[in-house]
Structure 1
Amino acid sequence: MAFTDPYHQAAELMVMRHDDPLRSIADLDGRRVIVSPGTSYWRTAERLRESGINVALELPPEPLGTDEIISRVADGEFDLTIADSHIVALEMAWRDDIVADIALGDPVDHGWAVRSENQDLLAALNAFIDKEYRGLFYNVVFDRYFASDAGEASLPLEARAEEELCPWDGLVRAYSSTYGFDWRLVVALMFQESRFDPEARSPNGALGLMQMLPRTAGQLGFSALHDPETGIHAGVKYLAWLRDRFEDDLSVHDRTWFALAAYNAGYGHVQDARRLATQLGLDRDRWFGHVERAMLLLSRPDYAQSARYGYCRGAEPVAYVRTIRDRFAAYSRTAES
């Protein structure tokens, strides 16, 4: 095997519940560490025991991804686990119920592995890494997935005129009323999508305050998405179209959460998660604690291959909906409806 130049570094961290923090490796004595077999985490836990730390090394009761094991640690079902720092960062971008302050070694390089005889591929990969590593696209994508703050939604709101949430409150109020939304929810969505920047453009081509794809906006009759009024109208109309695709007899709140998840991940993936929730004995009509749990599983190959719309990085819509809900709650305490 041959390895490319490194494109990333990660250290292994001990992950625990936020209300049960440990201060040092010595505090691990007598605790239970749940990790999957055959992984570097398992070997790290074995080395801990060999060094004299009396940890109980346990297998999960079923094949689970690292993100799922972390979720069970957060829920109190598992005691501790080990995860790479970038995976922990991804989880902590949307949750505040875990901590990972104990490093179990120095950061190690990450690179692509290729057959040693495939030197052309190795050279092409190294050229790509040399061009993109730490460049604009790399930094934008890295910040989107790993650098957001789970506590952001609870931070004090910016000091503006009384009850003003963004420069386009009037437009948001008008279009939210037209389509039946609380205007503060739409402002929370807008902040999540663009940070109130009408010139925002995502790596995949989404534009404007509501980060609409031009093709989707065009199907709804909109084009100039960098114009604040157009962008807001297009986004709210699209959110309403998604909401109206879900059953009328859902609770108002859950219908809204489903619409937000679909705005982020697509209607088909949300429906896949609802079908999976039924199979798991969860409530397909409730987002929090039910469909969101099924959504997380759609990133696992064994679940994705049987889903109608295939693989979905489920952690992103789960984080997305939670963050908007929390910011909506903060806005609701600040501004009148």
Structure 2
Amino acid sequence: MRSGITRLLTTISMAALCLTALTGSVRPNNLEQVRMHGEIVMVTRNSPTSFYEDRSGPAGYEFELARAFADHLGVTLNVVVADNLNDIFSTLETGKAVFAAAGLTHTAERERWFRFSQPYMQVTEQVIYRRGALRPREVTDLASGQLIVASGSSHAERLRALQHSQIPELTWSETPDLEVADMLQMVASGNIDFTVVDSNEFDVLQAYFPNLAIAFDLSEQQNIAWAFSHSRDDSLHQAANEFFGNKENAALLAGLEERYYGHLDKLDYVGAKRFLRQTSRKLDTYKPHFEKAGADHGFDWRLLAAVGYQESHWNPTAKSFTGVRGLMMLTRNTARELGVKNRLDPKQSIFGGSRYLAKLRERLGEEVQEPDRTWLALAAYNVGFGHLRDARKITEQMGGNPNLWLDVKDALPLLSQKRYYRHTRHGFARGQEPVDYVQNIRRYYDVLVWNEEQSQTFSDDENALMLSSSLITVIPPLL
């Protein structure tokens, strides 16, 4: 009897085990569930390096990279924007997002709680101070001024490590309320002495705060990666690693890096100060003409204004040694073709230059997508369409894509080398000039967009109010 019961219990157990194995084998993993639902959810934050809305819709390095990952999986991307870093991590922990793409540094502390993908960028942590004010020379000098960083950031982790290992007297403040741009603004206005930012963020924002500078690097290079919640099912994490490891995506990463970071070294301290000064003095005079010309030809008026500044520093009587004249620096023949009777009239010059740029863009054809179409048109505005065509031909011969600015800008300087230009239709050209020309315009455009849409200029009282109204936690010294 007992043996019969034993056999029955064994049979039931085996059946249950088989059923468990069977149901476990058919249950879709996380990657399969994402594909079944046709959507993947990313959590990020509003910042110039992660995600923001511009006139054409969602943008940002992290956003475009994540959207490419979603396309790779064959699903749509759903974006959740968190208020701060702590909210990003809690969104992951509660399962409201599949992964976080927000310029997150892969640290040992964070790895205890989250799984990180392969890195796709490296940055250094930099101490930022105001020119002409207290400058820290080394980490021990941080104890001599007021320092603020974001709560939950890798910077806060590093400061804690420094406090325990080297500088027990170090004290600083942390806040979840302020973004990097806010803290840089407070350093610029003198409300705080220092802050710490990642190098890629300061590269993007430095031109908006020309009185700020790097005191020193607080870290070696750190890996930036996507974060996933810890789970036995790592199918999505593995899919991300496969995405970054795919050689076909190398061009995508290079293109995004060029688009968002490739032009950032074109505006130094002196140039940024001069540009901001000229903007406040001159731009309002010509802004209505740029706005109307932009509306007529499908350009952001701020791009046209950036062209005007690059050409003449908004000087309507400017003249070059080659005879081009006016605010948009038109040649006599081009002005005649465009119906511009007086090149020194700023309105005629702006409308003529904008019409000419639109024609160049149209000649490139629909096969060239934006924003590359605009960058290539700008290069042609500077060097001539024939030379641009030659450079695109060289690009193709070298195995590059003649429709991508990333590739063409490497070929343009070759037009000054005989072994290349001797085989072209239009011959020699100073090919580095259109590269610098386009990159400068892109940087001026960035600053004009920032000035208008981000409202980065605050009074000292407004900065003090922002600081006082924020949730601030003071980290005391270990003394």
TM range (shorter): 0.5 to 0.7
Question: What is the distance in 2 between the residues matched to 1:250 and 1:160?
Answer: 32
Q: Report SS of the residue matched to 1:181.
A: coil
1:277–1:291 CA contact under 8 A, matched in 2:
yes
1:153–1:326 CA contact under 8 A, matched in 2:
no
Q: Does 1:328 align with 2:453?
A: no
Q: What is the deviation of 1:310?
A: 0.7
1:60-99 mapped onto 2 (5 Å cutoff): none
1:172–1:186 CA contact under 8 A, matched in 2:
yes
1:310 counterpart (414, 419, 427): 427
Question: What is the distance in 2 between the residues matched to 1:154 and 1:307?
Answer: 37
2:413–2:431 CA contact under 8 A, matched in 1:
yes
Q: What is the deviation of 1:291?
A: 0.3
1:125-140 mapped onto 2 (5 Å cutoff): none
Give the corresponding residue for 2:32.
none
Q: Report SS of the residue matched to 2:416.
A: coil
Q: What is the deviation of 1:250?
A: 1.6
- Where is the helix percentage greater, Structure 1 or Structure 2? 2
Question: What is the distance in 1 between the residues matched to 2:437 and 2:279?
Answer: 25
Give the corresponding residue for 2:385.
267
1:166–1:196 CA contact under 8 A, matched in 2:
no
Question: What is the distance in 2 between the residues matched to 1:160 and 1:184?
Answer: 11
Give the corresponding residue for 1:185.
303
1:296 counterpart (407, 413, 417): 413
Q: Does 1:175 align with 2:293?
A: yes
Q: Classify 1:159/1:255 alpha carbon distance in 2 versus 1 (closer, same or farther; 3 Å).
A: closer
2:326–2:343 CA contact under 8 A, matched in 1:
yes
1:157 counterpart (255, 273, 276): 276
1:154–1:326 CA contact under 8 A, matched in 2:
no
Q: Report SS of the residue matched to 2:285.
A: coil
Q: Classify 1:150/1:204 alpha carbon distance in 2 versus 1 (closer, same or farther; 3 Å).
A: same
Q: What is the deviation of 1:167?
A: 1.7
Deviations 1:149-196 (A, max 9, x none): 85266446128669x844210111001110010100111100010111
Q: What is the deviation of 1:302?
A: 0.3
Question: What is the distance in 2 between the residues matched to 1:250 and 1:211?
Answer: 26
2:415–2:427 CA contact under 8 A, matched in 1:
yes
Structure 1 unaligned runs (5+)?
Answer: 1-18, 20-148
Question: What is the distance in 2 between the residues matched to 1:231 and 1:160?
Answer: 19
1:194 counterpart (303, 309, 312): 312
Give the corresponding residue for 1:230.
348
Q: Report SS of the residue matched to 1:250.
A: coil
Q: Report SS of the residue matched to 2:358.
A: helix
Q: What is the deviation of 1:281?
A: 0.9
Q: Report SS of the residue matched to 1:244.
A: helix
Q: Report SS of the residue matched to 1:168.
A: helix
Q: Classify 1:321/1:153 alpha carbon distance in 2 versus 1 (closer, same or farther; 3 Å).
A: farther
Q: What is the deviation of 1:241?
A: 0.8
The structure with more radius of gyration: 2
Q: Classify 1:200/1:275 alpha carbon distance in 2 versus 1 (closer, same or farther; 3 Å).
A: same
Give the corresponding residue for 1:119.
none
Q: Does 1:245 align with 2:363?
A: yes
Give the corresponding residue for 1:286.
404
1:275–1:284 CA contact under 8 A, matched in 2:
yes
1:243–1:256 CA contact under 8 A, matched in 2:
yes
Structure 2 unaligned runs (5+)?
Answer: 1-123, 125-265, 455-479
Q: Report SS of the residue matched to 2:316.
A: coil
1:153–1:330 CA contact under 8 A, matched in 2:
no
2:290–2:350 CA contact under 8 A, matched in 1:
yes
Q: Does 1:319 align with 2:436?
A: yes
Question: What is the distance in 1 between the residues matched to 2:336 and 2:416?
Answer: 30
Question: What is the distance in 2 between the residues matched to 1:185 and 1:333?
Answer: 12
1:153–1:323 CA contact under 8 A, matched in 2:
no
1:166–1:187 CA contact under 8 A, matched in 2:
no
Question: What is the distance in 1 between the residues matched to 2:425 and 2:280?
Answer: 48
- Where is the strand percentage greater, Structure 1 or Structure 2? 2
Q: Does 1:215 align with 2:333?
A: yes
Q: What is the deviation of 1:306?
A: 0.2
Q: Classify 1:323/1:160 alpha carbon distance in 2 versus 1 (closer, same or farther; 3 Å).
A: closer
- For 1:173, give the aligned amino acid: E
Question: What is the distance in 2 between the residues matched to 1:187 and 1:160?
Answer: 10
Q: What is the deviation of 1:222?
A: 1.2
Q: What is the deviation of 1:213?
A: 0.7
1:206–1:213 CA contact under 8 A, matched in 2:
yes
- For 2:361, give the aligned amino acid: R
Q: Classify 1:202/1:335 alpha carbon distance in 2 versus 1 (closer, same or farther; 3 Å).
A: same
Deviations 1:192-228 (A, max 9, x none): 1011111111111111100001211101111111111
Deviations 1:61-119 (A, max 9, x none): xxxxxxxxxxxxxxxxxxxxxxxxxxxxxxxxxxxxxxxxxxxxxxxxxxxxxxxxxxx
2:367–2:403 CA contact under 8 A, matched in 1:
no
Q: Report SS of the residue matched to 1:327.
A: helix
2:267–2:443 CA contact under 8 A, matched in 1:
no
Q: Classify 1:165/1:159 alpha carbon distance in 2 versus 1 (closer, same or farther; 3 Å).
A: same
Q: Report SS of the residue matched to 2:381.
A: helix
Q: Classify 1:334/1:221 alpha carbon distance in 2 versus 1 (closer, same or farther; 3 Å).
A: same
1:242–1:259 CA contact under 8 A, matched in 2:
yes
**TM-score, normalising length from structure 1?**
0.53
Q: Report SS of the residue matched to 1:323.
A: helix
